[in-house]
Each structure stands twice: as structure tokens, then as C-alpha cells.
A and B are shown apart, each in its own frame.
Chain A
Amino acid sequence: MKMAALRTLLRVPASARPGEVMEVRLLMQHPMETGFRPDAGGRTVPRNILRRIEARFEGELVFAADLFPAITANPYIAFPLRATRSGTLTVTIEGDNGLAERETAVITVA
């Protein structure tokens, strides 16, 4: 069975003034299975989490996060980014079981 693609919401303000600090919000639909929980049969459910998030603006790394099992299911992360010029924000998400996803958002600075 092919795993469904990770549903991701990447939100940036519609536009920003130069120098303004924006809040970038990222919401991912994922169970974040901790690896500490037993199933009904008493066996531990294998860990399945998102581990690493990287955000690049026009290729430059501007934010990264290492996540651990204590992050909730459907992880939500908000981080700041100073608007300098218009461009594309690319977020890459890596997780257990070979999960690798990419999401982009266009930032308009005027």
C-alpha cells in the first residue's frame, strides 16, 4: 500500500512590507506515533514521527526544527521570518519510514 502524501498547510501573510517580521505557520496532518504506546495486544506500536523541518527562502536556510515524539499529532509550528524581498519559501519535511515532503509558499514584499 502506498502511503498517502502528507497533507501540509503552509501559511504566510498575503503581503509584507520590507523589514517586517512575518509569522509563518505550518500545520501537518500526521499521527506522530510516539513509539512508547502499546497497542491492544500489548505490543509497542512502532515509532512514526516527523523528525526534521527545514525552511529555505530563495535557497537560503532560514529556519529548521528537530521534532521528537512529545510533539502532538498533527504538528503545528509557527516561526518568524523577516521580509526582505519577494520570493519563494520552500519547506521540506522528513520523517520516519522514508517520509520526505516539500511545500512552497510565495512571499510578496511590497
Chain B
Amino acid sequence: MTRTRRGWLAAGSAGVAVVLLQPWAARAEISPALQAAIDHFTSGAPVQTGRVTLAVDAVVENGNTVPVSVSVQSPMTAEQHVRSIAIFTELNPQPEVAVFHLGPASGRAQVSTRMRMAKSQNVIAMAKMNDGSVWQHRVAVSVALAACLEGE
């Protein structure tokens, strides 16, 4: 197969575009600190995907204040409820953001707060049920202006 110079240029720029658009979030960055924080939260239970919804913008302008909300599908009865909800980040200096403790008195499994993000990265919300099972939702968030966590 022969290509014209224009053809090669087009193919080349397509290749560059593919590399540039490669979502950074496709790589899971599980640092030892994050793994330790997750293990501490799960008490060794396997982490399943589902039941948790992490509501956060995919693109945020200001990493100093990122509104986040986590809700979990649960009837929140004495027999069946969410015990805790944790928020982790993959690339902040410290992986934990917050751990919330709920129960049947909550009536609904939903918490909101505002967090800092040092760079574009995945944010992970995990919920631990009263039966010990752990569920998660992972969201890639792009940050335009990073939080000055490390004095950048």
C-alpha cells in the first residue's frame, strides 16, 4: 500500500490525537497508601461495583473546592442499612478525604461535602453495608486549577 505525503500526515496527526486523548483516568493509580486506606475501610471485604453513586462534575475549574455528593441504594432499615461511606482520591498527598458513619436513624444514605483536588484524577466513593459488603463508584475528574495542597 502506498500513501501520499498528505495521507501520512493525516495518519500521523490522528495518531497524535489518539495519544493525547488517551484518558489519563484509564490507568488505575492504586498507591500503597490508597490500598492501605481501602483495606482499612473494607476490613478485607471484596469491593464490588454498583449501588453507590458519586455525584461530582467531570470537569472542575477550581480544585480548592469541589462539591461532591454520595448516595447509596439502601432502604436504611435496622435490618439493611449503610454503615459508612468513604471518599478516596488516587493522587492527593493523602488518599482519604472523609469517612461518614450512618445508620437506620439517617433514613436515607446520602451525604454531601466539598473537597480539594491536587490534580486531575479518579475520585472513589465506597459504601460499607451492615452485612459487611462493600460497594464503590469511581469517577474521573479533570481539574483546571489544582488545590495548593503541596504549595505549587
Contact = CB atoms under 8 A, between A and B. Distances in A.
A75 B114 contact: yes
A44 B12 CA distance: 46
Contacts of A64: 100-101
B142 interface: no
B107 interface: yes
Given A68-B98, A70-B94, A76-B114, A62 B106 contact: yes
Contacts of A79: 100, 102, 106, 111
Given A34-B93, A75-B114, A69 B105 contact: no
A66 B99 contact: yes
A25 B99 CA distance: 17
A81 B104 CA distance: 9
A69 B100 contact: no
Contact of A62 (B99, B103, B112, B113): B103
Residue among A62, A70, A81 having the largest count of chain B Cβ atoms under 10 Å: A70
A70 B107 CA distance: 27
A78 B107 contact: no
Interface in A56-72: 57, 60, 62-72
Contacts of B96: 66, 68, 70
Nearest to A83: B107
Contacts of B104: 82
Contacts of B111: 65, 77-80
Contact of A67 (B93, B98, B102, B149): B98
A66 B113 CA distance: 12
Contacts of B98: 65-68, 70-71
Interface in B57-115: 64-66, 76, 89, 92-94, 96-115
A37 B113 contact: no
B113 A76 contact: yes
A34 B107 contact: no
B105 A62 contact: yes
Interface of A: 21, 34, 36-38, 57, 60, 62-73, 75-82, 84
Interface of B: 64-66, 76, 89, 92-94, 96-117, 148-151
Given A36-B150, A80-B110, 20 more contacts: A21-B108, A34-B93, A34-B149, A62-B106, A63-B105, A64-B100, A68-B94, A68-B97, A69-B94, A70-B115, A70-B116, A71-B98, A71-B116, A72-B66, A72-B116, A79-B100, A80-B107, A80-B108, A80-B111, A82-B107
